[in-house]
Structure 1
Amino acid sequence: MVVYTMFATIDSLTLLAAMTGLTASSMMSLKAIADLEHDLINSVDFFSAMKTSHRMEYAFMVVNILANVPFLFNWWMAVPQVMWAVLKFARLAVFQKLEEQDVFKQSVYSYHRRWHMSGFFLYLISWFIYFARFITAVMDIHVHGISPYD
């Protein structure tokens, strides 16, 4: 029982950390798009910020998927997370071409904003669910009396 409780706590912490990173990277992308739209940054800074946020997002997405794999068909949150990751990786492979001459067109940055808003919505909702799961796992340690503070 102790092993399951510790595994659940470690997994919950991993999921919460991954979702925190995904939420932060989505916010970074949205900030870069908003700054570009309002002429606060140039295209070089925009591409630098988007490159950083995309690398961060995909790194945390891999961590999130690896933490969800053990629960793929046993937990209701795992399947939507994996489906979103497959969709994002397919978009990375095919559709995410952003050219410097097109970046200032409203249709181009609006398209990317919609994707990042959708991701932010999913990540923020998932963050609250993962946070509740983490708190439940931590409380489970105290209920079973395996905490050094009991």
Structure 2
Amino acid sequence: MSEEGHRTQQACTEATFTVLLSPTHRGVRLARLLAVAHLDAWGLPSEAAAHIVAELAANASTHGRVRGRDFQLSLYVKEKTLRIEVTDTRGDSVPPGPGAVKAPEDDGAENGRGMLIVEALADHWGIAPGPVPRKTVWAEIDLVR
């Protein structure tokens, strides 16, 4: 077998990916697929990140949607941390911050648990306002535990 057949994938220590996506079901799905593809290419685990991206993108599409304006997905790897950012154009529609997220009162509700999932999977997360009319919801995952 050639040397190429034995090559192991090395994880990136610095990488960046940013894309604008439509605030639609298709845009949300594409955000998740692109995140997984880039993390896999960078040699990084993608399962938790895929769930976080899906929830943040779904929130941007649902609560941050403004007709004719896209949301932005950004992935940053710096040393031992993956940072996921989703920026939308509804700075006036802000989710509860870290530690303030609550489950929906109706146990049978079909939505309302997205930020609980983010809070459970991310090591750190938060909300950054601006520039007006935008907001960014970010989550960080420590790559070395």
TM-score (norm 2): 0.32
TM-score (norm 1): 0.31
Bigger share in helix: 1
Bigger share in strand: 2
Larger radius of gyration: 1
Higher RCO, 1 vs 2 (CA within 8 Å, ≥6 residues apart): 1
